[in-house]
């Protein structure tokens, strides 16, 4: 069983490599044809033309484009992604510093989306055929039409400004400093035994994670509802009813059990979108993750950083999709036999 | 088709949505007549005024002023103009490119289909937000650039959904009959295949308009959208975000505006989907 999981995942991962190569080449080309000169930008404005030319040669910018790409690829495979023009640091280490914060937010948001999605899906299914169906139907359309960007702002306004119960800027309250162990703040605060930091980190995570969770839960709700409808056509439901089980027991103990796995894997595709959605939520809440780094890089025309961060987003999204894909095959015996 | 139109116009969802969209469109079209001030007029003596009915409000600025003393109502109205322009042109542009590629891809199949299919795959492995940020960086700011960026990101949405529809339609008997009657490929595509996909196209365009409004707001919010002298809802949010405590209404109003526009386009799309009987299993986000 375990070996088949590993080979399956490995095969999917291999299939993702060509896509990744094409994506990185495209990203490289798009950023290189722009009328921006990274050599001139990485030197002080007082540099002479000869110095800029020397720097261009030094950076390999006088080579033909395919050659430049191969050089970049070779360096990237060795872990060298060039250095950020604006921060004067390796772009790779900047990403490594901010990635844990973004992953932490994404995981919390995925948990929130799953809880909200399952709760909402059960509710949608439970009210089928009743007077409430119309209301929940309209509500789910309305919810579906609110993207994470608006949820972020709405939650910020209601809970941050109006009710003033939760903080909405950054990752920690001012005055607290982050213990640097793994970069995952919730984990680090526990490892360091600092309850105050742990609580503050939670408070700062709730709004952004809820915003993403709310935006991505309707998809899970709808899939769960239709999976439940499907499950209710099966004979075991009627059998359970004949055995005298209560409707609640049938729904939670029998139908949900069978509808949950396809829902999670089908809705898993949403997690890829959710990860890239963290960018906007991070900007809204000034959350120091990869999203703010990306926006910063774009604003300052920091080419190596844009390239590295952009590629990291693509890699993570591809990775999430690969995992979800393999899980789907794994949990669905019909697809497993090759 | 006329039957479908009248059926759509009797649907409460479509009617409510069209009413809302008409209101926003009127604001956009007649902005210079409705707006009490020039949206770029700064009035540094009266910055961050509350709405006129609140204490300290000035009747000259019905919804108050922003951090540069610009009239919030006027900026909302002119912001509608920006949002609607982007919504209309970006969704039509994405539709044109996406459906053209989908038509030739689904109709001819074979190598063309393979190439277009792979292009869509690679394109979609870029997260849309990242792709649009990179494009805006390359194109520079401006209303036309925002439209172009959205077209370049979202043509895949049309291409993917429409392609499978075209493949189904192409296998129908009347398309084969048209070919037997001596129609050229172009005639068959335009007269027989394309009309069959119109309900799906209309539905997709109205949903795409909602997406375009949001993307425009996002790009303006991070300062990579329209030029800074142009009013946009996203810009208003970014400005108000810095002064939330002094003037919360400045944050709330543009959020409401975006919400109403997005909900209206989505409601329209949903109503059309139901009345035009469009199968739209999975369109992604």
| DSSP letters spanning B42-95 | --TTS-SPPPTTSTT--TTSTT-B-TT--BHHHHHHHHHHHHHHHHHHHHHHHH
**CB neighbour class for A218 (10 Å; exposed up to 12, middle 13-18, buried from 19):** buried
Name which of A38-42, A72-76, A286-290, B149-153 the model is least confident about.
Answer: A38-42
Closest CA to B152 of B168, B133, B167, B178: B133
- Calculate mean pLDDT across residues A4-25: 83
- Place B283 in a pLDDT band, splitting at 50, 70 and 90: very low
- Calculate mean pLDDT across residues B209-237: 91
Residues of B in contact with A30 (CB under 8 A): 134, 138
**Block residue for tokens 């709808």:** A222
**Domain containing B114 — which CATH number?**
1.10.3720.10
Tokens in use for A205? 């995570």
- The answer on pLDDT for A328 being more than 80 is no
Reported ipTM: the value is 0.82
Contact B130 A310 (CB under 8 A): yes
Q: Flag whether B60 is in a domain.
A: no
The DSSP letter of residue A83 is: B
Residues contacting A258, CB < 8 A, separation 6+ = A227, A231, A234
Cβ-Cβ pairs closer than 8 A, A with B, add up to 110
- In chain A, the percentage of residues whose pLDDT exceeds 90 is 18
Q: Report residue B65: phi and psi, to 5°.
A: -130, 165
- Cβ(A267)–Cβ(A219) under 8 Å? yes
Hey, is the C-beta of A166 within 8 angstroms of any chain B C-beta?
no
- Calculate mean pLDDT across residues A77-86: 83
Handedness of CA B278, B282, B283, B285 (dihedral sign): positive
- Calculate mean pLDDT across residues B170-196: 89
> How many structural domains does chain B have?
1
Identify from A26, A38, A149, A306 which residue to disrupt to test chain B contact, counting B C-beta atoms within 10 A and taking the largest count.
A149
- Place A335 in a pLDDT band, splitting at 50, 70 and 90: low
pLDDT at B279: 64
Tens digits of residue pLDDT in A59-72 = 777 778 888 888 88
Return the SS3 of A116: helix
Q: Which of A19, A160, A298 sits opposite B137 (nearest CB)?
A: A298
Q: Tell me the C-alpha distance between B63 and B71, whole Å.
A: 7
Return the SS3 of A167: coil
Q: Flag whether B115 is in a domain.
A: yes
Q: Flag whether B38 is in a domain.
A: no
Closest CA to A275 of B130, B135, B212: B130
Contact B222 A154 (CB under 8 A): no
- The answer on pLDDT for B142 being more than 80 is yes
Contact B129 A279 (CB under 8 A): yes
Q: Flag whether B193 is in a domain.
A: yes
Hey, is the C-beta of A145 within 8 angstroms of any chain B C-beta?
yes
Q: Report residue B71: phi and psi, to 5°.
A: -70, 120
- Calculate mean pLDDT across residues A244-258: 82
Q: Tell me the C-alpha distance between A105 and A208, whole Å.
A: 8
Name which of A305-309, B73-77, B135-139 the model is least confident about.
Answer: B135-139
What is the rounded radius of gyration, in angstroms, for the C-alpha atoms of chain B? 22
Hey, is the C-beta of A32 within 8 angstroms of any chain B C-beta?
no
- In chain B, the percentage of residues whose pLDDT exceeds 90 is 39
- Place A44 in a pLDDT band, splitting at 50, 70 and 90: confident
Residues of B in contact with A306 (CB under 8 A): 134, 137
Contact A23 B126 (CB under 8 A): yes
Q: Flag whether B283 is in a domain.
A: no
Q: Tell me the C-alpha distance between A139 and A143, whole Å.
A: 6
Q: Tell me the C-alpha distance between A311 and A28, whole Å.
A: 10
Closest CA to A311 of A104, A25, A80: A25
Identify from B222, B257, B274 which residue to disrupt to test chain A contact, counting A C-beta atoms within 10 A and taking the largest count.
B222
Which structural domain range is residue B229 located in? 17-25+73-277
Between the alpha carbon of residue A303 and those of residues A19, A37, A192, A300, the distances in Å are: 22, 9, 37, 9
Q: Flag whether B121 is in a domain.
A: yes
The CB density around residue A129, as the number of other CB atoms within 10 Å, is 6
Name which of A311-315, B53-57, B184-188 the model is least confident about.
Answer: B53-57
- The answer on pLDDT for B284 being more than 50 is no
Tens digits of residue pLDDT in B81-103 = 999 999 999 999 999 999 999 99
- Calculate mean pLDDT across residues A173-202: 81
Q: Flag whether B64 is in a domain.
A: no
**Block residue for tokens 């300290």:** B56
- Rounded-to-10 torsion of CA B13, B264, B271, B132: -170
pLDDT at B282: 43
Q: Flag whether B59 is in a domain.
A: no
- Cβ(A102)–Cβ(A281) under 8 Å? no
What's the mean pLDDT when you consider all of chain A?
Answer: 83
Return the SS3 of A284: helix
pLDDT at A338: 47
Q: Tell me the C-alpha distance between A226 and A96, whole Å.
A: 40
- Place B215 in a pLDDT band, splitting at 50, 70 and 90: very high
Residues of B in contact with A280 (CB under 8 A): 129, 218
Identify from A150, A277, A284, A294 which residue to disrupt to test chain B contact, counting B C-beta atoms within 10 A and taking the largest count.
A150
E-assigned strand segments in chain A: none
């Amino acid at each position: 069983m375990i070996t088949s999981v590993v080979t399956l995942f490995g095969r999917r991962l291999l299939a993702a490599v060509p896509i990744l190569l094409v994506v990185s080449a495209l990203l490289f080309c798009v950023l290189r044809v722009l009328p921006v000169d990274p050599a001139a930008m990485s030197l002080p404005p007082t540099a002479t033309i000869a110095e800029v030319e020397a720097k261009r040669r030094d950076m390999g910018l006088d080579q033909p484009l395919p050659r430049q790409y191969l050089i970049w690829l070779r360096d990237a495979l060795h872990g060298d992604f060039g250095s950020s023009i604006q921060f004067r640091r390796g772009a790779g280490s900047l990403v490594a510093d901010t990635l844990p914060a973004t992953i932490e937010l994404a995981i919390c948001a995925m948990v929130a989306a799953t809880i909200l999605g399952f709760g909402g899906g059960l509710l949608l299914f439970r009210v089928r055929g009743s007077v409430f169906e119309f209301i929940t139907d309209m509500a789910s359309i309305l919810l579906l039409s609110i993207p994470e960007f608006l949820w972020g702002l709405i939650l910020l306004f209601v809970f941050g400004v109006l009710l003033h119960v939760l903080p909405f800027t950054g990752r920690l309250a001012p005055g607290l400093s982050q213990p640097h162990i793994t970069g995952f703040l919730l984990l680090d605060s526990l490892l360091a035994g600092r309850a105050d930091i742990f609580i503050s980190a939670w408070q700062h995570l709730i709004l952004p994670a809820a915003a993403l969770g709310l935006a991505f839960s309707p998809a899970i709700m709808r899939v769960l509802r239709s999976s439940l409808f499907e499950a209710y056509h099966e004979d075991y439901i009627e059998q359970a009813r004949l055995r005298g089980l209560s409707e609640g027991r049938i729904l939670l103990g029998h139908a949900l059990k069978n509808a949950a796995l396809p829902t999670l894997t089908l809705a898993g595709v949403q997690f890829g979108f959710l990860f890239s959605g963290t960018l906007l939520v991070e900007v809204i809440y000034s959350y120091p993750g990869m999203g703010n780094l990306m926006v910063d890089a774009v604003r300052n025309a920091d080419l190596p950083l844009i390239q590295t961060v952009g590629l990291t987003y693509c890699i993570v999204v591809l990775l999430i999709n690969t995992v979800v894909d393999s899980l789907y095959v794994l949990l669905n015996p019909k697809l497993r036999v090759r | 088709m006329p039957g479908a139109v009248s059926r759509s116009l009797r649907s409460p969802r479509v009617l409510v949505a069209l009413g809302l969209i008409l209101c926003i469109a009127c604001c956009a079209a007649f902005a210079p007549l409705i707006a009490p001030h020039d949206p770029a007029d700064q009035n540094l003596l009266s910055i961050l005024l509350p709405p006129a009915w609140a204490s300290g409000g000035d009747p000259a600025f019905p919804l108050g002023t922003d951090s540069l003393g610009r009239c919030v109502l006027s900026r909302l109205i002119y912001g509608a103009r920006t949002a609607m322009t982007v919504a209309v042109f970006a969704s039509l542009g994405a539709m044109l490119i996406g459906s053209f590629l989908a038509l030739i891809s689904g109709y001819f199949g074979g190598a063309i289909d393979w190439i277009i299919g792979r292009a869509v795959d690679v394109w979609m492995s870029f997260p849309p937000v990242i792709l649009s940020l990179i494009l805006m960086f390359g194109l520079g700011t401006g209303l036309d650039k925002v439209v172009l960026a959205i077209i370049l990101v979202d043509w895949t949405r049309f291409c993917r959904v429409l392609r499978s529809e075209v493949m189904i339609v192409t296998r129908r008997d009347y398309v084969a009959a048209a070919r037997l009657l001596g129609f050229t490929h172009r005639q068959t595509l335009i007269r027989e295949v394309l009309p069959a996909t119109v309900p799906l196209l209309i539905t997709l365009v109205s949903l795409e308009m909602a997406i375009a409004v949001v993307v425009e707001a996002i790009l303006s919010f991070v300062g990579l959208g329209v030029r800074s002298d142009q009013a946009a809802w996203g810009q208003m949010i970014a400005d108000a975000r810095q002064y939330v405590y002094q003037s919360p209404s400045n944050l709330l109003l543009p959020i409401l505006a975006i919400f109403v526009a997005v909900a209206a386009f989505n409601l329209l799309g949903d109503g059309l989907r139901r009345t035009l009987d469009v199968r739209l299993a999975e369109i992604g986000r």
